[in-house]
């Protein structure tokens, strides 16, 4: 038998030899405590019953041959046999006796924690193959909470030993290639943190959905963390940007309030855990304040740094945290390497192929994107019908508007009777990677509610809708093998929910971040309704009060919500530049925001009416624009995201540009301060004709090919009747772009393009490269193809020069 001194150890003395690993290398608990102690990381006191004690327990009871007989050659896919054999193995361990010397050591260690012998502890299993960077055994073995008294501690330690042979653990080891007896188990006996009267949750040192390494993601709820880990409640969540936090800035970019309907609490009378309803007041507030979130994020990063140092390679972490409800103290309870994204191959592109041979389309239109979507058709005549749309359905409508975006982004596909490739439905579907068919005449009558359909945008420029669920093939391409062009390739984004995924594309930043998309999805309220609620209806005032609850003023709520959305866009791409275009709703679109009808005029042609720059300095809108400016300032200054730059849309004259610049300065934003760059959209013929004048006040131009095309050709871009005349790579547009490039470069200013044309027409992108465009900003689904076209155009130019 092992020497008794190796059986039971205080946490601070645990080394690698006490917790042997099946493979890999990680930090021992003793190393962590010694390294993290000076940084203030709090870990509950306790002791460990080591893996050596577990193996000696098996030897003492003669269990090794018993376990071999039960488990060797077991077919774990035979569920009945698996349950039978694993139960027999657990019963064998529970029926054993603890070696007297080991039992005495456990009793003595518990007494040192609490001489009175009534301290509540958590008895947590930790398999020696558990929590490796390549395989997470998390949750495979048992943990017991609120264990009190030496006798109960001994019993639960033995129960932990037995839990190594739960059916799920046996099957998991078999499927991952671990021998059943090659895995040992240690047990942590940890002072119980009263999270049942406080709060608990988890923390990741990356985004768990996308694997983005720039964030610490935390979630939590009232009571024990089991409800969070098992998904029984909708927890609060926070995104903390690591590099700006480490630089001393706020760091908390986004907060998401969960419902937290129940809390798992200890019932001392019943001697058991019980789910109890959470009072509404607690549901309506976060279970952590921002300083506590920052504290936990710093601790999580410190743990990651220690594991990374020991392993010699980046090691993102998955941790559990708790706050004691009696003392208010924060603790880290558990840490393990994150295993999902660490093993996932990155840098892959998906392309779709559909074999529709023998299937006649039900309806055709213009294809948006290149994907295929299948689902149940939901025909929506108005916003009232949106409630019937479930995630994975196909939304069918005459047209869409910004109010519909929350439903649109969960649809499998979108089909509209009206609109062109730059209509709202097209822009939103690209943003979310959803296939859409627009200008699909007769779709509402040809497609029936409840019908299973397939929407294909994988067959070129024509989008088709087929009856039934047709099979599609997906091809993946390794992005890491693609050559990098000299021209900067940027991406267009708007939805903060999609920013993390989009940031993983091979791009140099964001050429167009759409403020109005953040308005629609994250705010949904007309800013003037918050400033002058007395001009709105009682129903609107009641809804405004509900949304703004918990904030000092309605304006503070608006700035905070807007700043969180903008902050996610900037943080996702940091330190790459993100160019934010201020809101560019038209008056009819602003009117659809909550309370908007009271403040918006009725315009015959809002497309060329009161929009863009003309609003920002207008007496009727100036104070609303000041809220946008305040949100931007919060992102750049409080969050430290100085990679955020600004762009003014639909600026008709240089004088109007200077008026907007004055409004920005009034709000504390000045071109050049903190590296702030200011751009103007080139989307009106006057921007081209007066480029030298505009260049005096702006750092550069971004061609908005959508509006520039319609104003050069006199074509309504949202009209299906003239969609075939919308020539966004035609000679007139090309000449306008060439004129702008020559004038702007002559004035020493940069020129990019953020409209749809380069995404739809690689040849147009090549034309721009030949004329010296500095950057091309693309829809996410066009980045790879257009990037390759740019590389080829640059190579042709190089060959021509030589």
As annotated, the active-site residues are 424, 754
State the number of CA atoms in the 13 A half-sphere of 641 facing the CB: 34
Give the integer Cα–Cα distance in Å for 503 and 591.
32
Q: How far apart are CA 346 and CA 476, in angstroms?
A: 11
Q: Count of H helices and E strands in the chain?
A: 30, 30
Spatial CA neighbour of 611 closest among 589, 579, 632, 580: 589
With a CB cutoff of 8 Å and minimum separation 6, the contacts of 186 are 18, 19, 48, 49, 50, 51, 53, 54, 125, 126, 127, 128
Phi, psi torsion values for 679, nearest 5 degrees: -115, 160
> Quick one: tokens of 3?
């020497």
How far apart (Å, rounded) are the C-alpha atoms in residues 252 and 218?
Answer: 10
Both tokens of 138, joined, read 């998390």
Q: Which of 500, 513, 488 is nearest to 758 (CA)?
A: 488
Residue 165: CB atoms within 10 Å: 24
Task: Determine whether 794 is exposed, middle or buried from the number of CB atoms within 10 Å of its CB (0-12, 13-18, 19+).
Answer: middle
Nearest to 584 by CA among 759, 760, 424: 424
Rg (CA), the chain: 30
CA 584, 585, 590, 594 torsion-angle sign: negative
In whole angstroms, what is the distance from residue 688 CA to residue 462 CA? 33
Pairing of strands 252-256, 236-241: antiparallel
Q: Check residue 634 and report its DSSP letter.
A: I
Which of 379, 378, 687, 631 is closest to 513 using CA atoms? 631
Separation between Cα atoms, residue 783 and residue 765, nearest integer Å: 11
DSSP string for residues in 654-697: HHHHHHHHHHHHHTT--TTGGG--EEEEE-SHHHHHTHHHHTTT
DSSP 272: E
């Amino acid at each position: 038998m092992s020497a008794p001194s190796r059986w039971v150890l205080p946490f601070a003395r645990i080394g690698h030899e006490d917790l042997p690993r099946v493979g890999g290398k990680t930090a021992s608990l003793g190393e962590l405590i010694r390294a993290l102690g000076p940084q203030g990381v709090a870990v509950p006191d306790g002791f460990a019953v080591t893996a050596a004690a577990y193996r000696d327990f098996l030897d003492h009871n003669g269990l090794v041959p018993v376990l071999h007989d039960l488990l060797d050659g077991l077919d774990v896919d035979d569920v009945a046999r698996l349950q039978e054999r694993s139960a027999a193995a657990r019963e064998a361990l529970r029926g054993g006796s603890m070696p007297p010397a080991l039992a005495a050591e456990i009793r003595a260690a518990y007494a040192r924690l609490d001489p009175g012998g009534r301290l509540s502890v958590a008895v947590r299993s930790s398999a020696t193959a558990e929590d490796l960077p390549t395989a997470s055994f998390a949750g495979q073995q048992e943990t017991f909470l609120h264990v009190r008294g030496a006798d109960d501690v001994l019993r639960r330690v033995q129960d932990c030993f037995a839990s190594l042979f739960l059916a799920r653990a046996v099957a998991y080891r078999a499927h991952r290639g671990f021998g059943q007896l090659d895995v040992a188990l240690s047990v942590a006996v940890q002072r119980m943190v009263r999270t049942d009267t406080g709060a608990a949750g988890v923390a990741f040192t990356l985004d768990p959905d996308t694997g983005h390494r720039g964030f610490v993601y935390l979630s939590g709820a009232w009571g024990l963390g089991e409800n969070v880990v098992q998904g029984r409640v909708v927890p609060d969540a926070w995104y903390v940007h690591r590099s700006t936090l480490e630089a001393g800035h706020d760091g908390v970019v986004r907060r998401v309030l969960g419902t937290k309907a129940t809390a798992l609490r200890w019932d001392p009378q019943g001697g058991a855990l019980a789910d109890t309803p959470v009072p509404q007041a607690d549901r309506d507030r976060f279970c952590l304040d921002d300083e506590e979130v920052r504290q936990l994020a710093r601790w999580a990063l410190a743990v990651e740094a220690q594991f990374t140092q020991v392993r010699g390679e980046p090691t993102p972490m998955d941790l559990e945290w708790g706050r004691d409800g009696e003392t208010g103290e924060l603790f880290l309870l558990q840490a393990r390497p994150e295993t999902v994204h660490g093993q996932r191959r990155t840098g892959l592109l998906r392309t779709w192929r559909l074999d529709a041979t023998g299937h006649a389309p039900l309806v055709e239109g213009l294809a948006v994107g290149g994907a295929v979507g299948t689902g149940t058709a939901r025909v929506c005549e108005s916003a009232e019908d949106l409630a019937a749309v479930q995630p994975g359905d196909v939304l069918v409508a005459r047209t869409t508007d910004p109010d519909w975006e929350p439903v649109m982004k969960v649809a499998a596909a979108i089909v509209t009777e009206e609109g062109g490739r730059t209509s709202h439905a097209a822009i939103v579907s690209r943003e979310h990677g959803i296939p859409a068919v627009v200008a699909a005449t007769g779709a509402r009558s040809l497609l029936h509610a409840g019908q299973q359909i397939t929407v294909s945008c994988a067959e070129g420029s024509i989008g088709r809708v087929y009856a039934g669920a047709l099979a599609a093939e997906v091809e993946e391409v390794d992005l890491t093998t693609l050559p990098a062009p000299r021209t900067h390739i940027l991406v267009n984004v708007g939805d903060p929910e999609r920013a993390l995924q989009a940031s993983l594309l091979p791009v140099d930043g964001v050429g167009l971040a759409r403020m109005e998309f953040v308005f629609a999805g994250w705010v949904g309220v007309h800013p003037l309704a918050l400033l002058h609620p007395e001009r709105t209806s009682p129903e609107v005032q009641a809804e405004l009060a509900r949304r703004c609850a918990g904030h000092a003023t309605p304006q503070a709520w608006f700035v905070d919500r807007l700043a969180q959305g903008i902050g996610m866009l900037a943080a996702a791409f940091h330190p790459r530049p993100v160019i934010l275009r201020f809101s560019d709703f038209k008056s009819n679109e602003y009117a659809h925001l909550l309370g908007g009808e009271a403040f918006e005029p009725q315009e015959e042609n809002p497309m060329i009416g009161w929009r863009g720059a003309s609003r920002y300095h207008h007496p009727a809108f100036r104070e609303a624009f000041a809220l946008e400016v305040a949100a931007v300032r919060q992102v750049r200054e409080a969050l430290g995201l100085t990679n955020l730059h600004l762009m003014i849309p639909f600026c008709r004259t240089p004088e109007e540009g200077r008026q907007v610049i004055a409004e920005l300065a009034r709000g504390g934003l000045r071109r050049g301060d903190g590296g702030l760059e200011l751009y103007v959209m080139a989307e009106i013929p006057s921007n081209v004709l007066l480029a030298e004048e505009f260049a005096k006040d702006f750092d550069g131009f971004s061609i908005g090919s959508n509006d520039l095309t319609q104003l050069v050709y006199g074509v309504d871009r949202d009209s299906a009747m003239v969609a075939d005349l919308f020539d966004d790579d035609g000679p007139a547009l090309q000449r306008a772009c060439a004129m702008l490039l020559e004038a702007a470069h002559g004035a020493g200013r940069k020129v990019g393009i953020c409209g749809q044309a380069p995404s739809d027409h690689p040849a147009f992108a090549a034309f721009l490269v030949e004329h010296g465009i500095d950057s091309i900003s693309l829809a996410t689904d066009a980045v790879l193809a257009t990037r390759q076209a740019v590389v080829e155009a640059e190579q042709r130019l190089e060959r021509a020069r030589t």
